[in-house]
Structure formats: C-alpha cells, structure tokens
C-alpha cells in the first residue's frame, strides 16, 4: 500500500465551480500536510500548509485535515482558468521525509 494515495484525474470543471481535491494516507504519524500547485514545466508552488488537524483558509482555497480518517482535502472556490494545473498533496511525520501524492490534473474551462 502506498503511503499517500491521490486520484490522478484528470478533473475538468467549468469556471466558477467549486473544486474538491483529496488525498488519503496510511501513516498515522503524519502531522505536516501540504498542498502544492504545479504548472507545466515549473516547480511546485506551496499553496497551503497545515500542522496537525483542522481547517485552514486562504482566499479561495481551504485545506482540511481529518486525521481520524487519514484524509486531507483542498477546496477551490470560484475556480478560474488560471487554476488549471496539477495539484500535489504532501505530508510528513517529523519533517525529515516527505511523501507526495501522484498529483491531480485540473482543467478549469472558461
């Protein structure tokens, strides 16, 4: 079983839709959770960072961590064509080793 599972998509939504991206994991020791956005031929950009459980909101983005279910989510409200990218989840137990999802490809159609 992989440490981190992420549906690769592709996911295609109309502009203005709410997007839900998810990852599941198996290691209950994970306590650092991140979401990255990666445009084609660019390095990943840190979007959201959460320590332990709970929700975090930043503009149109909301990250949720449910440690009891070993499940994390990223919600994008009022999605824009510029949100079209690959979204990677990442997590770590002690900050020395990170595990990445395979990435979900998102296309927002104008």
Query: Which residues in this chain contact another protein in the complex, by CB under 8 A?
Result: 32, 34, 36, 41-46, 49, 51, 88, 90, 92, 95-98, 100-103
Who's near 30: CB < 8 A, 6+ residues apart?
A: 67, 70, 91, 92, 93, 99
State the nearest-atom distance from the C-beta of 93 to another protein, in Å: 10
- d(CA 95, CA 49) in angstroms, rounded, equals 13
- Quick one: 43 or 110, whose CB is closer to another protein? 43
Give the whole-angstrom CA distance, residue 21 versus residue 25: 14
Nearer to another protein, 72 or 90 (CB): 90
Least distance in angstroms from the C-beta of 43 to another protein: 4
């Amino acid at each position: 079983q992989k440490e981190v599972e992420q549906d690769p998509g592709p996911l295609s939504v109309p502009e203005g839709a709410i997007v839900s991206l998810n990852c599941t994991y198996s290691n209950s020791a994970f306590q650092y959770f991140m979401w990255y956005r990666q445009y084609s031929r660019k390095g990943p950009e840190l979007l959201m960072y959460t320590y332990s459980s709970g929700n975090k909101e930043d503009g149109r983005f909301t990250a949720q961590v449910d440690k009891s279910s070993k499940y994390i989510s990223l919600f994008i409200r009022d999605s824009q064509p510029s949100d079209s990218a690959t979204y990677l989840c990442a997590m770590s137990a002690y900050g020395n080793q990170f595990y990445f999802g395979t990435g979900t490809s998102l296309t927002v159609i104008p």
